[in-house]
Amino acid sequence: MTTVFVSHPQSRLAHYFGDRATAALRAIAQVRFNPTDNELSSVELAALAQGCDAIVSYRQTAGDEALFAGLPDLKAFVRCAIDIRNIDVAAASRHGVLVTQASAGFVAAVSEWIVGAMIDLARHISVSTALYQAGRPAVPAMGRELRGSTLGVIGYGQIGRYLCDVALALGMRIVVHDPYASTGRAELAQVGLDALLAQSDFVACLAPAHEANENLMNAAAFAAMQPHAFFINASRGNLVDEDALLAALDAGTIAGCALDVGRASDQMPSPHVAAHPRVIATPHIGGLTPPAVEHQAMETVAQLGEIFRGRVPKGAVNAPDAFRWQKAFG
C-alpha cells in the first residue's frame, strides 16, 4: 500500500483537514502525520516524510527545491488549499513530482463573512461592543442599511459572482471591476477601477493575488474612494499598501475597513493595521467553516485516489512533467 504524509500541525489537523477526510485517506493509504505542533521547514519535512509516496500539504507548508531533492521516493505533493504560491512547481517538475491544488470550497463562507463585515461596519457593532466590554458607555450612532447602498466588487471570480447574487438579494446596487472577466449581466455595472472607487459605499477586494496586483489598493486608490466608504479585504494582503491604508484611515479619507487577510504570517492581518480603531479584523477565518474545510480535504483525498490509479486528477498543475508519478502509477 502507498504511504502518505500529512504535514498539518497537530493542533490544525481537526480544523484544516478533519476526521472524515482522515478516515477516507486511511482507507486508501498508510498515513503518517506531522508528530509536532510546528509548521515544518523543508528540512524537517524531508526527514519525517522519507519513504512516502505523497504529501498532503498544509497551506503553510512550502514545497521547494530542497524538499523535492530530499525525498527521492516522493511522487505527489497534494495541496490541501487553492493557493500554491509557496510551491516551486518548476522544481517539482524537475524532480518528476506531481503537484495538485484544491478548488475553492469557501465561496459561500467568504461571501457571508463579507456581508457580516459590511453590516458590522455600517452599524458600528464591533465599536459598540468594545466600548461596553471596556466598561465605557456606547453612544447610539446612526447606521446605514445595505439596501440601497452601492457595493463595488474588485474581481469577478467565484466569490465575486456569489457575493453579487447575495448583495442583489439584499437590495444593493453592484458595480464590478475586472479587466479579465465580463459579467455578462445587465444588473451589474462593469466599470473601471477609478469609477468603482468613486461611487461605492463598500469596496470588497477579491482580486487575484498575482504580481500585477501588488499594492493595487494604494494611496491613489484610497484617495478615489468616498469619505463615508468602507474598504473590505478578503483576498490577500499583498493587494494593499498598508501604509497608504493607515494614512487614509488617519486622515478620514475613508470611514473604516474590515480585514480577514494581511501581510503577517499565514496570511493574517498585520497586527499594527488590525489595531487601528477604524479597523475590524479577523484571523483569516473567512473560509474556516466545516463545509468549506471538508470540501478541500475530501477533494484532496479524491485526488490521491486518482493519482494512485494512474489518472491525472482534477487540480493537477504539472502532470506532463511528473515522471516519478508516471513511472510508479502510470
Q: Per-residue pLDDT for the chain (330 aa), expressed as one digit of tens each?
A: 799 999 999 999 998 999 999 999 999 999 999 999 999 999 999 999 999 999 999 988 999 999 999 999 999 999 998 889 899 999 999 999 999 999 989 999 999 999 999 999 999 999 999 999 999 999 999 999 999 999 999 999 999 999 999 999 999 999 999 999 999 999 999 999 999 999 999 999 999 888 888 999 999 999 999 999 999 999 999 999 999 999 999 999 999 999 999 999 888 999 999 999 999 999 999 999 999 999 999 999 999 999 999 999 999 999 999 999 999 987
What confidence score (pLDDT) does residue 97 get? 97
| Per-residue 3-state assignment (H helix, E strand, C coil) for 59-120 | CCCCECHHHHHHCCCCCEEEECCCCCCCECHHHHHHCCCEEECCCCCCHHHHHHHHHHHHHH
The predicted model scores a pTM of 0.90
What confidence score (pLDDT) does residue 266 get? 83
Domain boundaries 3-105+290-329, corresponding CATH code: 3.40.50.720
What confidence score (pLDDT) does residue 161 get? 97
What confidence score (pLDDT) does residue 112 get? 98
What confidence score (pLDDT) does residue 209 get? 83
Answer whether 3-105+290-329 and 107-281 agree in fold.
yes
| Domain 107-281 in this protein, CATH class | alpha beta
What confidence score (pLDDT) does residue 212 get? 84
Break the chain into its structural domains and give their ranges. Answer: 3-105+290-329, 107-281
What confidence score (pLDDT) does residue 182 get? 93
